[in-house]
Structure 1
Amino acid sequence: MQPTLRTLGASDLRLSPLGLGCWQFSKGEGIVGRFWPDIDPAIIEEIIRVCLEGGINWFDTAEVYGKGQSEQMLASALNKLGVREEDAHIATKWWPALRTAGNIPRTIQTRLDSLKGRMIDLYQIHQPFSFSSVSAEMKQMGQLVKQGKIKYVGVSNFTASKMREADRVLKDMGLRLISNQMKYSMLDRRIEDNEVLDTAKELGISIIAYSPLEQGLLSGKFHRQPELVKSMTGPRKLLPAFKAGGLQRTLPLIELLEQIAVKYNASATQVALNWTIHYHGDTVFAIPGASKVHHAQENVKTMQFRLTDDEMKAIHDVSQRVGR
């Protein structure tokens, strides 16, 4: 069963509610890339194949993910699979730290080269901290749209006020801000309290939720097998949520997810993702990652059912309690 596609913001992009986050494809390179182990290209190709066959039609990557390695691995896999551009939309990001807006046009060709000439459907400012203003960045991004080098403009980690400013500048150019990529899960619901979500709904901007499973915590496997934390690679195992106290605090939520999952012949992971992409209507998309093929298989099954309003409310209540 193929998922129902949604429109991303004020664009003509029709995307699946879930995309694939490609941070894991960083090949272990760079400070950011070291968070994940090096994945064999054949496994990356199979992950992408499973996603496409399961109805996922877009992929989110970034310049900073392995210094372009994630972009290259994604494009190589898509090319090897013979996937047309219109069947696999690509979102990537410009890294603004220690740069000015003038770097945006100077580096766009590098991004296109890393993606092996594939179209950038959504180009995002990765975070709001740089040597230039939001206005200057948006003007440069808007020029890329007008030059046909990218299709749409998005941001990531922007506050409500910065979202408004970005959208205002783009409107003056006859364009719109399409999305804001934010950390969001049932254990991290800050965008509901800091006006980001409300502003997005008001302006018709989509939210793209990254880390929707809290680095795998919401799968429940670490609650059932705490010894798995010791075998984890990267800094995840140092996070308080993965300590004994953190696991005990969030156990009631995992138990509820598992209880609901039985009804749908699903898993806690799938219920958690289903809640994320449906609780706020069509506003929130999500980009779980996949470092193994079975992760991709599990992700796509998320889109084959829909929680009831009562189930989503029950999850809301428990997540509010244990997430604070």
Structure 2
Amino acid sequence: MEVVTRVPLRNLGDSTTKISALGLGCWQFSKGKGMVGRFWAEMKQEDITMIVKMSLGGGINWFDTAEAYGKGESERALSEALNTIGPSAEQALIATKWWPILRTASSITKTIDNRLEALGGRQIDLYQIHQPYSFSTVKDEMKAMIELLKDNKIKYAGVSNFNASKMKQADEVLKKEGYSLVSNQVKYSLLDRRIERNGVLDAAKELGITIIAYSPLEQGILSGKFHKNPDLIKKIQGPRKYTSYFKASGLAKTQPLIDVLEEKAIKYGVSQTQIALNWLIHFHGDTVVAIPGASKLHHVQENIGTLQFTLSTDDLNEIDSVSKQVATFD
């Protein structure tokens, strides 16, 4: 029987569902399909299955995907992987998202069966509004989510990229029917700390909403490997190599943070990636979880290892201080 590594779990929002502090982001499972899916190089299904299996074995118990990731291809790839793994994957939790652009709230209920089909009939534990931009109001979108909750089509409702005001509004609508908003998935990392200034993090703490941090490693820049060997940037497949952090000026600006991450990595006997992720999931208590991706098995090992230690308060604060000198807040 396969041994699963036990890691500390925390509540998803104010629910009783327990999640690991790291989930697995599944955007890279898009297999190169669609506009969004082409951001990453295409992966083989057998590699996806091994990544999911190793994640589960290491104590990561939830997987974040979306309709927009390859037009459902990521959902299908995740489902196929879980089916291949078999009984040991039965407890895996699935989070996915409805794509709102150029749609109305009625699409949420009309397309839910498509999402369930793409996931092979597996339960949607967390269903999220992917963006705050649609032809409907937050109120109407939440009413549609309530319908899905009542019909047991989804277990919990969440949002993504919502500002503090819209996040609060969504929670208010849900609470009138006895539900609550459990999560807001936003971009957050040691280099992007806007949610600390725009009210999102404060509102999440006030309402007991989990912040799900995506791009927690800024597409790998926080690993430090591109600072040590900039020639690696030329080998990146996909458009991420053209983003500002991968330019020479971006590497120079972030070098002080990379230096302190390297220092702490040596101190704890781990990698810089693990230090960056560990800071993210511990600096704000249990409020923030993160969804790093993994396109190779060593990425999974990094994720799992992150859950095996906790930075000291002094080290958390030192990293925080250096991060504030180079991060984006506005």
Which TM-score applies when normalising by structure 2? 0.97
1:315 & 1:242 partners in 2: Cα distance? 21
Alpha-carbon contact 2:30-2:74 (below 8 Å) kept: yes
1:122 & 1:12 partners in 2: Cα distance? 13
Alpha-carbon contact 1:6-1:14 (below 8 Å) kept: yes
1:84 & 1:49 partners in 2: Cα distance? 9
The letter of the residue matching 1:267 is S
Pairing 1:150–2:154 present: yes
Alpha-carbon contact 1:160-1:199 (below 8 Å) kept: yes
Q: Shift of the alpha carbon at 1:87?
A: 1.6
**Cα RMSD after superposing both structures:** 0.9
Alpha-carbon contact 1:155-1:181 (below 8 Å) kept: yes
1:271 & 1:87 partners in 2: Cα distance? 28
Pairing 1:100–2:107 present: no
Question: What does residue 122 of structure 1 align with?
Answer: 126
Question: What does residue 303 of structure 1 align with?
Answer: 307
Question: What does residue 276 of structure 1 align with?
Answer: 280
The letter of the residue matching 2:200 is V
Stretch deviating more after TM superposition (175-184 or 257-266): 257-266
Alpha-carbon contact 1:142-1:170 (below 8 Å) kept: yes
Question: What does residue 72 of structure 1 align with?
Answer: 76
The letter of the residue matching 2:64 is D
1:84 & 1:252 partners in 2: Cα distance? 43
1:276 & 1:65 partners in 2: Cα distance? 24
Pairing 1:60–2:71 present: no
1:86 & 1:12 partners in 2: Cα distance? 18
Pairing 1:317–2:315 present: no
Are residues 306 and 108 of structure 1, via their aligned partners in 2, closer, same or farther at CA, if it must alter by over 3 Å?
A: same
Question: What does residue 11 of structure 1 align with?
Answer: 15
Alpha-carbon contact 1:6-1:15 (below 8 Å) kept: yes
Stretch deviating more after TM superposition (238-247 or 125-134): 238-247
Partner SS for 1:145: helix
Pairing 1:33–2:37 present: yes
Question: What does residue 247 of structure 1 align with?
Answer: 251
Pairing 1:216–2:220 present: yes
Question: What does residue 191 of structure 1 align with?
Answer: 195
Partner SS for 1:304: coil
The letter of the residue matching 2:294 is A
Partner SS for 1:112: helix
Alpha-carbon contact 2:9-2:19 (below 8 Å) kept: yes
The letter of the residue matching 2:185 is Q
Post-superposition CA distance 1:285-306 (Å, at most 9, x none):
0000001111111111000000
Alpha-carbon contact 2:56-2:89 (below 8 Å) kept: no
Question: What does residue 46 of structure 1 align with?
Answer: 50
Q: Shift of the alpha carbon at 1:178?
A: 0.4
2:88 & 2:296 partners in 1: Cα distance? 24
Alpha-carbon contact 1:2-1:304 (below 8 Å) kept: no
Q: Shift of the alpha carbon at 1:85?
A: 6.3
Question: What does residue 163 of structure 1 align with?
Answer: 167
Which TM-score applies when normalising by structure 1? 0.99
Stretch deviating more after TM superposition (81-90 or 293-302): 81-90
Out of 274, 287, 292, the residue aligned to residue 291 of structure 2 is 287
Post-superposition CA distance 1:195-243 (Å, at most 9, x none):
0000000000000000000010000010011001111111111111101
The letter of the residue matching 2:97 is K
Q: Shift of the alpha carbon at 1:263?
A: 2.1
The letter of the residue matching 1:313 is N
Partner SS for 2:324: helix
The letter of the residue matching 1:260 is K
Pairing 1:140–2:163 present: no
Pairing 1:265–2:266 present: no
Alpha-carbon contact 1:179-1:206 (below 8 Å) kept: yes
The letter of the residue matching 1:278 is H
Question: What does residue 231 of structure 2 align with?
Answer: 227
2:68 & 2:23 partners in 1: Cα distance? 19
Q: Shift of the alpha carbon at 1:83?
A: 3.9
Pairing 1:109–2:80 present: no
Gaps of 5+ in 2: none
Count of paired positions: 324
Partner SS for 2:184: strand
Stretch deviating more after TM superposition (28-37 or 80-89): 80-89
Partner SS for 2:111: helix
The letter of the residue matching 1:100 is T
Post-superposition CA distance 1:26-70 (Å, at most 9, x none):
000000000001101110011011100110000000000000000
Alpha-carbon contact 2:196-2:202 (below 8 Å) kept: yes
Post-superposition CA distance 1:118-158 (Å, at most 9, x none):
00000000000000000000000011010010000000000
Partner SS for 2:59: coil
1:238 & 1:160 partners in 2: Cα distance? 30
Partner SS for 2:134: coil
